[in-house]
Amino acid sequence: MSASVRFRNIYTQFPGGKHKVLTLSYDDGKIPDRRLVSILNEHGIRGTFNLNSGLENNSFDVAYNERIPMAEFTDLYKGHEVACHTATHPTIARTPREQMILQVIEDRRALERIMGYTVRGLAYPNGSVDDNVVDALKACGIRYGRTVNSTHGFGMPGDFLRWDPTCHHADPALFDLADQFIDNHKTQYLYMFYLWGHSYEFERDNNWNIIEKFSKKIENKSDIWYATNIEIVDYLDAASRVQVSVDADFAYNPNSQSVWIEVDKKTIELKGGETTEL
Ligand SMILES: [Zn+2]
């Protein structure tokens, strides 16, 4: 005699059983990154810095356009993610394929040599992306690409190689969106707030108060996961590999890292390499 079928509500959660994530993405690696990183560190906010490895010795007109010396990358960006922004920042969708691939793979190679970890993310320089660029990125082992198209929403992206941010920091809707995100306690979906920009814009536009106010508002929330871009991608990839029995009475996590799931409204941590009873 067989037991009757059991339907259970099982959902992927973020680490610690959370359902909201905040991540930032800042481009070009100019000198004001130092001040931006120190503000983020003070508030426990984390992000991804998209860097051009071929522009270190570029000439600059004003001080805020000078690039951070590559020898400083490891210390400065500790606790954040370093990702590609191509070697010399061309508009890649207009670039011959061979040059496009060289720009991406050379940036990746140079950044990996400095950082000592695999670099698998990218922000499209000048927001330039099309199907050919996405194909080239896949061939270069790049797992996600960030666009410059604001969604004003909190949904998870359908395609990480066309990852649209929530908004730019100078967006007039920024603080309304932040309030909506903080006040959102619905748990039917996973929710993401994704902020992007360039640190030199704070210096140029004399508006560092925006990121200071935003950081104070959104820091230290027990239901928000503060993550870099690649941590989100890697975590969801790991979650997608979890194997749940048809009867939903046990789950096997084949990853080395833990994955959290909600089973009939209860949070369960699935430890890496283990089978867990649900
Ligand atoms: Zn850029």
Contact 201, 151 (CB under 8 A): no
Mean pLDDT of 92-112: 96
> Cα(58) to centroid of ligand 1, in Å?
14
**pLDDT value of position 1:** 52
Tens digit of each residue's pLDDT (9 = 90 or more) over 136-171:
999 999 999 999 999 999 999 999 999 999 999 999
> Cα(138) to centroid of ligand 1, in Å?
20
- The helix/strand/coil state of 109 is helix
29 pLDDT higher than 90: yes
Domains of the chain in sequence order: 18-236 (3.20.20.370)
| CB-count exposure of residue 135 (10 Å: 0-12, 13-18, 19+) | middle
**pLDDT value of position 2:** 64
> Cα(66) to centroid of ligand 1, in Å?
13
Tens digit of each residue's pLDDT (9 = 90 or more) over 111-133:
999 999 999 999 999 999 999 99
Tens digit of each residue's pLDDT (9 = 90 or more) over 191-236:
999 999 999 999 999 999 999 999 999 999 999 999 999 999 999 9
Region of poorest pLDDT, from 30-34, 83-87, 90-94? 90-94
> Cα(195) to centroid of ligand 1, in Å?
15
Contact 252, 243 (CB under 8 A): yes
Amino acid, res. 122 = L
- What share of the chain in percent tops pLDDT 70? 99
- What residues flank ion ligand 1 with Cβ within 5 A? 27-28, 125
Phi, psi dihedral angles at 245 (to 5 degrees): -65, 155
> Cα(126) to centroid of ligand 1, in Å?
6
- The helix/strand/coil state of 16 is helix
What is the CB neighbour count within 10 angstroms for residue 154?
A: 19
**pLDDT value of position 4:** 85
> Cα(185) to centroid of ligand 1, in Å?
34
